[in-house]
Amino acid sequence: MTVLAQIRPALTLVGVSTLALGFVLPLGFVGAAGLIAPSQAQGSLIERDGHVIGSALIGQTFARPDYFHPRPSATSPAPYNADNSSASNLGPTSKALIDRVRTDIAGRHEVPADALTTSGSGLDPDISPANARDQVARVAAARHL
């Protein structure tokens, strides 16, 4: 058997596998997702007056007292910037992390963990029920409820 006879099936297998697994399968999943869950497949975008203003999957910075504050963002330089999606690389001895946590807990009693820690992606909008309960009095007072 010649070298060419051995290489041809190997190259054919690589080409067919690349085509099937690199193009056909991913496009099939994208198409199926678009049919099954179109909003989620497009990023759960939020529109106002025909313009995209955000995504239900990405948190936003809320500093005003009449809004529930999200968990801290790990993205920098701008918080909740999806272009910089990643967890922080700050360890327990990091001065930047220690300073941020000290600022976050200033004037508070027992603080839920998710009020001080970032999510894995650094973008998650969700807070725990404990974190929400911790903020209810502030939000209610600011909204005169």
Average pLDDT rounded to a whole number, residues 125-130: 91
Q: What is the pTM of this model?
A: 0.61
**pLDDT of 116:** 82
pLDDT bucket at 4, cuts 50 / 70 / 90: confident
Q: CA 75, CA 14: separation in Å to the nearest integer?
A: 39
| CB distance 70 to 134 below 8 Å | no
pLDDT bucket at 144, cuts 50 / 70 / 90: very high
Q: Where are the domains of the chain?
A: 3-41, 57-142
Q: Which tens digit of pLDDT belongs to each residue from 31-90? A: 999 999 999 998 899 999 999 988 888 888 888 999 999 888 877 677 777 766 666 677
Among candidate residues 102, 124, 128, the one with its CA nearest the CA of residue 115: 128
Q: Is the pLDDT of residue 108 over 80?
A: no
**pLDDT of 79:** 76
Query: What is 20-89 written as a DSSP string?
Result: IIIIIHHHHHHHHHHHH-HHHHTT-EEEETTEEEEETTS-----STTS---PPP--SSSTT-GGG-S---
Residue 12: which H helix or E strand, with range? helix 3-19
